[in-house]
Every structure is written in structure tokens, then in C-alpha cells.
């Protein structure tokens, strides 16, 4: 048995069923195969693919990705090939691997999400992640994710078009994450994922111009972790649905921290650019942590600290 198939790593919470809790965060692991020689797709419980839109998008003007203290700012602007060729070219080749495939759908208009869900309904995609939290596009994205009403409208419309398990990807840019989560739950969401990036920008002091072509972008990487842990804990207090936690994970210890706070699975984003093989460390580290601390299943570990402080 390989480390990524260890039965103790199995995730089984509601509609979230994965062989292990390590997921690739959308946009940071391409379409799953680009890095296959150094990061085997089989190491992952699930691969979230780069965000897809109805029509192909060229993305934002360069520069689109810059390094800053502790993390990066990206304004890729959802560059992708569009839905027409997505399933055949990007999803089917992944079906040779033993990992769940998660499509990340995006729209400028609410109807875009409905059409994408309809197109994916009879595809071999295992989950659909509704991205209402992208800060890098002019219309849609995080604009929707900040308003319970638009979240409800989008989720309801998507739910009508597909029976696939639906993941709602939440933005941290909200006053009350529970309010947004409730709108998703009431409208038929199955799983939450959080967090997406924080809006950010940088100015070159020599040219005195913004560094990013799009001026603004989304900040990600290790400094996000404490804020993300806080939001996972908050969300856990409001829901029994499964939670995929992400934001700044760069070690197995970070992954365990998310699990203790209430996540059922974890996604790695920015750290893939530093250590493409991190999923191996995460799974091996979690198994050792379980051995050393007397946990028999991921279910026991997930939400452990949250329960200690929230249940009598
Ligand atoms: C270069 C880049 C591209 C991204 N593209 C997407 C995307 O297409 N869809 C999406 O939902 N999130 C996207 N994200 C956000 C990540 O999936 C993740 O939510 C965020 O980066 C926080 O995790 P991290 O700190 O581990 O990177 C992107 C992030 C980066 C850095």
C-alpha cells in the first residue's frame, strides 16, 4: 500500500469522499498533468483544475504574478481555453489516475455558471466548485461572493442544472462568513471551500507605477494561514457540511492545523510553486501525526480542537 492510499487518510463526510485529504487548489497545479513527473497526480485525494469559463479568456495584461513579502500577488484573470474543449482535453486524460477531478467554474454573469454546470453535468468531472470569490476579474467573481443574494441565485441556478456534488468557494472579503455560507446551504450546496485570495496591489517606487498590469490582484501564500484558520473555525461553527480548508498551507503541520480547526480536507495553492511535491509530505506527515498522537481516522482528527472548545 502506498502512503496516499492509507485507509486512515480516507475522507468521508457527506458528499465529500476522497481517498486522502490533500487537494490541489485551483489555478496552482495547472490541469494536473503538467507536473506529473515530479508530483504524481495519484498522490492527491482530488485535483482542482484551473478555473474554467464559457468562452476562452486570454487573461489580464502582464505582469500577472509577482512575489512579495511572504507570498505572491496574482492577477491571471482566469486565462483558460473555455468549456468547449475542456472535458476532452483536460478532464479525460486525468481519468487514468486515481484521484477525484474538481472543475472550478467562473462567470461574469450568473447565467454563465448555469450554462457551465449544464455542460459539465454528463462529464466525468467528480465535483463542481463554484468560484464566487475571484478578485481578479472586472465583473462577477468576488462581487457575487460578497452578497448572500447573488450566492443564493447562483447556487440555486447551478443546482437545477446538475446532480454533481457542488462545492462553494468562499471569499475572505466578507463581514460575516456564516451569512454567505447559509445562503449557499439554503440553495443546495454540498461542500464549502475557503479561502480564495485577498485583494492586493504593489507599486514600483522607481517607475511609480503599479507593478501588475491589472493594477490589482489577489494575495496568497503563507501569511494567509492564520486568517484562513480563523474563517474555517467560524464556518465550522455554522455548518455540518464538509469543509475544504486552504490558504497558506506549506507543510503537513499546516494541513493538520486546518484539520484541527474543522476542515475535512485541505488544498495547497501557492506552495506548489516552491515545492511541487508537497502532497507527499502532507499525507505522510498526517499519517505519522496520527500514529504519534493516537488518532485512528481522519474523521477523529478533523475538527478535534474545534470540538474541545465548542461541545460540552
Ligand atoms: C496563480 C493563481 C491562480 C489562481 N487561480 C484560481 C482559479 O482559477 N480559481 C480559483 O477558485 N482560485 C484560484 N486561485 C486561488 C487558489 O486556489 C487559493 O484559493 C488561494 O491561492 C489561497 O491558497 P494558497 O495560499 O495556498 O495559495 C489562484 C491562486 C493563484 C496563486
Closest by CA to 285, choosing from 263, 304, 266, 262, is: 266
SS3 sequence of 209-268: EECCCCCEEEEECHHHHHHHHHHHHHHHCCCCCCEEEECCCCCHHHHHHHHHHCCCEEEE
Q: Give the pLDDT band of residue 145 (cuts 50, 70, 90).
A: confident
Predicted pLDDT at 1: 82
Per residue in 71-123, pLDDT (tens digit) is 999 999 999 999 999 999 999 999 999 999 999 999 999 999 999 999 999 99
Report the predicted TM-score, pTM, of the whole model to 2 decimal places.
0.98
Give SS3 for 67. Answer: strand
Q: Is the CB of 270 under 6 A from ligand 1?
A: yes
Best residue among 22, 27, 227 to mutate for probing ligand 1, ranked by most atoms within 8 Å of CB: 27
Nearest CA to ligand 1 atom 22: 247
Task: Give the CA distances from residue 166 to residues 67, 113, 207, 239, 260, in Å, rounded to whole numbers and listed in that order.
Answer: 32, 12, 45, 15, 24
Q: Give the pLDDT band of residue 139 (cuts 50, 70, 90).
A: low
Is the pLDDT reported for residue 141 higher than 90?
no
Q: How many helices (H) and strands (E) does the chain have?
A: 10, 16
Distance between Cα 71 and ligand 1 center (Å): 12
Q: Give the pLDDT band of residue 312 (cuts 50, 70, 90).
A: low
What is the rounded CA–CA span in Å between residue 269 and residue 23? 9
Q: Specify the ligand 1 atom closest to the Cα of 131.
A: 11
* Distant-in-sequence contacts of 4-10, Cβ < 8 A, 24+ apart: 4/42, 4/43, 4/44, 4/45, 4/279, 4/280, 4/283, 5/98, 6/283, 6/287, 8/287, 8/290, 8/295, 8/296, 8/297, 8/298, 9/45, 9/283, 9/286, 9/287, 9/298, 10/297, 10/298
Catalytic residue among 78, 100, 116, 134: 134
Q: Give the pLDDT band of residue 134 (cuts 50, 70, 90).
A: confident
Q: Specify the ligand 1 atom closest to the Cα of 74.
A: 1
- Judged by average pLDDT, the poorest of 128-137, 213-222, 263-272 is 128-137
Is the pLDDT reported for residue 70 higher than 90?
yes
Per residue in 148-207, pLDDT (tens digit) is 999 999 999 999 999 999 999 999 999 999 999 999 999 999 999 999 999 999 999 999
Nearest CA to ligand 1 atom 2: 27
Nearest CA to ligand 1 atom 26: 269
- Cβ pair 283, 265 in contact under 8 A: no
Per residue in 14-34, pLDDT (tens digit) is 999 999 999 999 999 999 999
DSSP, res 52: B
Predicted pLDDT at 95: 95
Rounded mean pLDDT, 288-297: 97
Q: Which domains, from first to last, does the chain contain?
A: 3-53+83-197+220-310 (3.20.20.70)
Round the CA-based radius of gyration of the chain to a whole number and report it.
18
Q: Specify the ligand 1 atom closest to the Cα of 51.
A: 8
Distance between Cα 27 and ligand 1 center (Å): 5
If one compares 144 and 241, the residue with the highest pLDDT of the two is: 241
Is the pLDDT reported for residue 137 higher than 70?
no
What is the rounded CA–CA span in Å between residue 307 and residue 312? 9
CA dihedral 85→87→89→95, nearest 10 degrees, is 180
Using the CB atoms, write b or e for 227-241: b if 16+ within 10 Å.
ebbebbbbbbebbeb
Predicted pLDDT at 161: 98
Distance between Cα 135 and ligand 1 center (Å): 10
Residue 134 annotated among the catalytic residues of the structure: yes
Q: Is the CB of 76 under 6 A from ligand 1?
A: yes
Best residue among 23, 24, 26 to mutate for probing ligand 1, ranked by most atoms within 8 Å of CB: 26
Is the pLDDT reported for residue 136 higher than 70?
no
Distance between Cα 25 and ligand 1 center (Å): 6
- Judged by average pLDDT, the poorest of 53-62, 94-103, 133-142, 272-281 is 133-142
Per residue in 198-256, pLDDT (tens digit) is 999 999 999 999 999 999 999 999 999 999 999 999 999 999 999 999 999 999 999 99
Q: Is the CB of 244 under 6 A from ligand 1?
A: no
Q: Percent of the chain having pLDDT more than 70?
A: 98
Report the Cα 24 to chain-centroid distance in Å.
7
Is the pLDDT reported for residue 140 higher than 80?
no
**Half-sphere exposure (CA, 13 Å, Cβ side) for 85?**
7
Report phi then psi at 17, rounded to 5. -125, 110
The H or E element spanning position 166 is strand 166-169
Amino acid at each position: 500500500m502506498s502512503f496516499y492510499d492509507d485507509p486512515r487518510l480516507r475522507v468521508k463526510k457527506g458528499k465529500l469522499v476522497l481517498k486522502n485529504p490533500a487537494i490541489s487548489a485551483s489555478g496552482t497545479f495547472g490541469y494536473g498533468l503538467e507536473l506529473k513527473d515530479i508530483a504524481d497526480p495519484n498522490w492527491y485525494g482530488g485535483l482542482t483544475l484551473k478555473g474554467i469559463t464559457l468562452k476562452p479568456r486570454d487573461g489580464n495584461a502582464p505582469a500577472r504574478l509577482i512575489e512579495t513579502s511572504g507570498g505572491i500577488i496574482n492577477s491571471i484573470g482566469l486565462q483558460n481555453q473555455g468549456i468547449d474543449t475542456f472535458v476532452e482535453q483536460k478532464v479525460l486524460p486525468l481519468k487514468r489516475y486515481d484521484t477525484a477531478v474538481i472543475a472550478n467554474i467562473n462567470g461574469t454573469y450568473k447565467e454563465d455558471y448555469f450554462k457551465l454546470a449544464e455542460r459539465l453535468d454528463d462529464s466525468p468531472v467528480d465535483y463542481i466548485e463554484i468560484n464566487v470569490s475571484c478578485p481578479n476579474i472586472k465583473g462577477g467573481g468576488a462581487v457575487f461572493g460578497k452578497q448572500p443574494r447573488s450566492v443564493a441565485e447562483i447556487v440555486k441556478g447551478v443546482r437545477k442544472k446538475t446532480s454533481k456534488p457542488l462545492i462553494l468557494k468562499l471569499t475572505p472579503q466578507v463581514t460575516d462568513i456564516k451569512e454567505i455560507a447559509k445562503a449557499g446551504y439554503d440553495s443546495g450546496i454540498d461542500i464549502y471551500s475557503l479561502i480564495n485570495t485577498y485583494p492586493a496591489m504593489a507599486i514600483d517606487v522607481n517607475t511609480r507605477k503599479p507593478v501588475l498590469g491589472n493594477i490589482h490582484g489577489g494575495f496568497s501564500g503563507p501569511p494567509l494561514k492564520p486568517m484562513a484558520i480563523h474563517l474555517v473555525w467560524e464556518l465550522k461553527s455554522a455548518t455540518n457540511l464538509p469543509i475544504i480548508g486552504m490558504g497558506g498551507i506549506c507543510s503537513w503541520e499546516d494541513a493538520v492545523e486546518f484539520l484541527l480547526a474543522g476542515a475535512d480536507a485541505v488544498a495547497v495553492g501557492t506552495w506548489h510553486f516552491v515545492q511541487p511535491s508537497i502532497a507527499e509530505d502532507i499525507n505522510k506527515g498526517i499519517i505519522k501525526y496520527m500514529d504519534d498522537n493516537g488518532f485512528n481516522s481522519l474523521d477523529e482528527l478533523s475538527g478535534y480542537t474545534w470540538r474541545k472548545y465548542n461541545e460540552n
